[in-house]
Amino acid sequence: MKYREEKDSLGKVFVPENAYYGAQTERARQNTIDSGLRLPFVFLRALALIKQFAAEVNIDLKRLDPEVAEAIVASAGEVAEGRLAAAFVVDVFQTGSGTSTNMNMNEVIASRSNERLTGNIGGKSPVHPNDHVNLGQSSNDVIPTALHISALSAIEHDLLPRLETLRQALAEKAELWRHIRKIGRTHLQDAVPMFLGDEFSAYARQVELSVVRIKNASNGLRELALGGTAVGSGMNTPPVFAAAVIEKINHHLSLHFREAENRFEAQGARDAAVEMSGTLKSAAVSLMKIADDLRWLASGPRGGLGEIRLPTLQPGSSIMPGKVNPVIPEVVLQAAAQVIGNDTTITFAGQKGQFELNTMQPLIAYNLLQSISLLGESARVLAEKCVRGIEADKEKCKSYVEESLALATYLVPQLGYDRAAELSQLAHQAGKTIREIIIENNVMTSAEFDDLIGEDP
């Protein structure tokens, strides 16, 4: 690969001739730990849209030459479509403001714009990455703005629809199995009977409430820091700039962003991201509970509970023939654990907002967007590859009810707690059912017992 020498304010750097990034980006790349982690495309797309609409507004405000601005608009549009994704090379672990990523974007757009106008890739003329692409902006306001835009976009367009798909799949099973009696369990011990549909209705409600919580937490993400520039004061940008750009963003994305009520807060703190992360953690805990219950209910097939049968997806053992594992619930459990871990990272990173700037923004963005993606995909695969294919074992459910000592609870209103407990102990010691014991002890007939326990739980 051939390299060309470029100079910036810090001295010489060498840049690949065919690269769509410039000197500051290359220097930034050299000054990371190169973990191999990159900010996801949804974030880069949001940042590119900010640049695109900022250029359009700067035309209206007569702050940019129309030819230069139109080249920026077209080039930023290409980035937003994913055409230049390979040019974004800066690691997540970079300067905490995200300046390296912002300059990567500025230089890619400037480089492509100059190619459009002159035929030559790179350079700073006629389009300059700072003076033109970054006009009216600072890394300190566009990076948190891109974070909020990308997070809310991913939530609205991906996460919430997939959670609704899961809720619906669970609700359908709840309706289908509303008459299948089974034994309830508390403390992993037999409790009183219930319906299998009731159990699944609880799961559907958990997902429904997760959606409500996420929607409530989304309100904080609607405030954008754009217009605050370096510290929140708006230095070097017209007062109308932010509102005009945000209006274009809302029109393009069909979302409802607004200017931050206090830009100093919007740049110095990442509380809205921390709040959303905590809400996503809550949703992850819900999915973990549901996935774990499904594993237990399907355990066996002969040494476990076996009240439901999960879809068979793949061989479960490299050594035990015929073994089938609960693959999808375990996928969800691991993804949920990652989301919970991400929340811990985001919580810590959110504290690093000394004075007028949080300095862990790339880390927050990476983890928050990963959590949104993981939850959305978890909900999708759990619904499509697991819940929809679950079958109920009616006979197994029925047998557990008949064998349960918890049926003695039905006797309490007639016999009192102590006598019912005595009969339960007799049944346990004799290895018999409650039905058999009450018949032997002339407490009631089998038909009378059927009438007693035949009522809805």
pTM of the model: 0.94
- DSSP letters, 361-404, are HHHHHHHHHHHHHHHHHHHHHHHHHTGGG-EE-HHHHHHHHHH-
What is 404-453's CATH superfamily? Fumarase/aspartase (C-terminal domain) (1.10.40.30)
Where are the chain's structural domains?
Answer: 3-135, 149-232+254-394, 404-453
pLDDT value at residue 16: 60
pLDDT value at residue 13: 64
- 288-328 pLDDT per residue, tens: 999 999 999 999 999 999 999 999 998 888 899 888 899 99
Residues lower than pLDDT 50 in the chain: 1, 457
User: 3-135, which class in CATH?
Assistant: mainly alpha
Using a 10 angstrom Cβ sphere, with 0-12 exposed, 13-18 middle and 19 or more buried, the burial of residue 6 is: middle
Active site residue ranges? 187, 317
Determine contact, residues 312/322, Cβ cutoff 8 Å. no
pLDDT value at residue 321: 87
Query: Is 149-232+254-394 assigned to CATH 1.20.1250.20?
Result: no
pLDDT value at residue 96: 97
Pairing mode of beta strands 391-392, 308-309: antiparallel
pLDDT value at residue 455: 57
- 321-345 pLDDT per residue, tens: 888 899 999 999 999 999 999 999 9
